[in-house]
Structure 1
Amino acid sequence: MKTLFLAWQDKRPAANGGTRRWFPIGRLQADVRAHLFHFDYTKGMKAANEVAGFRPLDAFPKLEEHYVSSELFPLFQNRVMRKEREDFPAFVERLGLNANEVDPFEILSVSGGERQTDTLEVFPKIEKRADGSFMCRFFIHGWRHVNEGARERILTLQPGEPLQVALEMNNPATGPAIQLQTVNDYYMLGWTPRYLVLDLIKSINEGPSDVKAHVVRVNPSPAPYNQRVLVELEGRFPSGIDPMTSVEFEPVLAEA
């Protein structure tokens, strides 16, 4: 099974108690052999409801139901650019993927399927290998909020250039966060996605020297700002620790 998670953001105004917090609310799985897609709400949905008043999505109106389809559900398919579009090859290239081999699941796992007008984002489950190692790719978050020198440095990043991974304990917006910095001149370029932070902290605690990151590609303007710097990060999890297995990632319905 290939697995993606669906996150929902509390975008209520701060005056109304809004937190800007993200919650994992759903799990999408692709059974490649059976050509079936499965969707379940996860227990993170309950926290989203209690904290921010989350309500079921129109596409999946029943919280305690296991959804199955022979085609990718429209909620997700509509977040993937159609191959017939003239700019599809350029879009896939920005994601570091091969236009001739890519599938919608791969596209969503890197692009996040995020739209400027809604509150949803898709992210892939980190897969731990038999030896405890893992690898993931993502676009740097928050680069527009770093200083001008760092933003200029982003434009000079080269594919393969190593980056430092640094733990930030007291980010005023998120609490713990993971920074990405240049190696020799120490520019802070931005952060890893929030969904990686808790698991990356476990990996850093296991062996800081095993956690490494490098630039895959830089997409200058007019590429969307949230697809500016693609990074690959690798590390290792300790024995007995599996990523993205906390309660918020568990399906609401008990699995058979």
Structure 2
Amino acid sequence: MNTRDYIYLVWKYYKTRQRYIVGELSKNGKYEFRYKAEDINKAIKNGFKPLIAFPDINEVYESYDIFPAFSSRLPDKRRKDVKEILAKYKLEKYDAFELLKKSGGKLPTDSLEFIDPIFLDETNIEREFYIAGVRYYDYCDEKSKNTKLKLDINEKLILEKDYNNKYDKYAIKVINKENKIIGYIPVFFSKEISEAIENNRKIKCVVINKECSDTCEECIKVKLTII
């Protein structure tokens, strides 16, 4: 967008699992990091603390190299298995920015991750992600670790706006072929997908992976395309 490439930094509040877009990292010749005004204050009220490397929420931080606070979240390029890691994310060479975009740069020590945002001026948009809120819709049997709802790989899912959602005014329900809600589009994509629906863009959402987990946060993975 505007000749810059962007990824968003998302923070998850551990009590409610609500996600907030707290910052954006962009590049065009040099890197810039800034906090996102829309969500940062809400996140701070719920316990988010500005990153040590970026203490001022009103500052725009610049660097000709990717910030160490973010590159440290990635596997070392000197690892013996680095080629396998790059192949996993369909990268031909080690690019820290692209690797953050593809992998999310998640660590077990915090609740931060990077996501590749959707900009609707793009054509042939394609994203892969996990459906949010699955644990609220009785998808997994926690005791047997088996799925309760019938869901097939490559099944086409229905996206429907939820006008009564009190947590996200752009909320999008995800519905299976049996007309049952299985979860929601993650909040960091909901505004753009809501606008795409209103503008009658051609949208396709299909299941590409399904499994049970302890928290059911990464149970149903989908591939979304917008033309």
TM over 0.5: yes
Task: Please identify runs of 4+ aligned residues in structure 1 that moved more than 6 A.
Answer: none
Please tell me the residue identity of whatever aligns with 2:90. Answer: N
Alignment-derived partner of residue 240 in structure 1: none
Matches within 5 A, 1:1-256: 1-11=4-14, 21-31=18-28, 34=29, 36-44=30-38, 47-48=41-42, 51-52=45-46, 54-82=48-76, 84=79, 86=81, 89=84, 93=88, 97-98=89-90, 100-101=92-93, 103-129=95-121, 134-148=125-139, 152=147, 157-158=152-153, 160-171=154-165, 174=168, 177-183=171-177, 185-207=178-200, 210-215=202-207, 217-218=208-209, 220=211, 226-235=217-226
Contact kept in structure 1, 2:170 and 2:190, CA below 8 Å: yes
Aligned residue for 2:147, secondary structure, equals: helix
Structure 2: distance between partners of 1:164 and 1:49: 30
What are structure 2's unaligned runs of at least 5 residues? none
Structure 1: distance between partners of 2:192 and 2:25: 20
Deviation at 1:116, TM superposition (A): 4.5
With over 3 angstroms needed to count, the CA separation of the structure-2 counterparts of 1:60 and 1:167, relative to structure 1, is same
Q: Percent identity?
A: 24
With over 3 angstroms needed to count, the CA separation of the structure-2 counterparts of 1:65 and 1:172, relative to structure 1, is closer
- The higher-RCO structure (CA 8 Å, 6+ apart) is 1
Higher-helix-fraction structure? 1
Structure 2: distance between partners of 1:157 and 1:90: 28
Contact kept in structure 1, 2:157 and 2:205, CA below 8 Å: yes
Cα shift readout 1:79-100 (whole Å, capped 9, x = no counterpart): 333452659837964xxx3254
Aligned residue for 2:159, secondary structure, equals: strand
Question: Between Structure 1 and Structure 2, how many residues are aligned?
Answer: 219
Q: TM-score, normalised by structure 2?
A: 0.72
Please tell me the residue identity of whatever aligns with 2:147. Answer: E
Please tell me the residue identity of whatever aligns with 2:41. Answer: A
With over 3 angstroms needed to count, the CA separation of the structure-2 counterparts of 1:154 and 1:3, relative to structure 1, is farther
Please tell me the residue identity of whatever aligns with 2:174. Answer: L
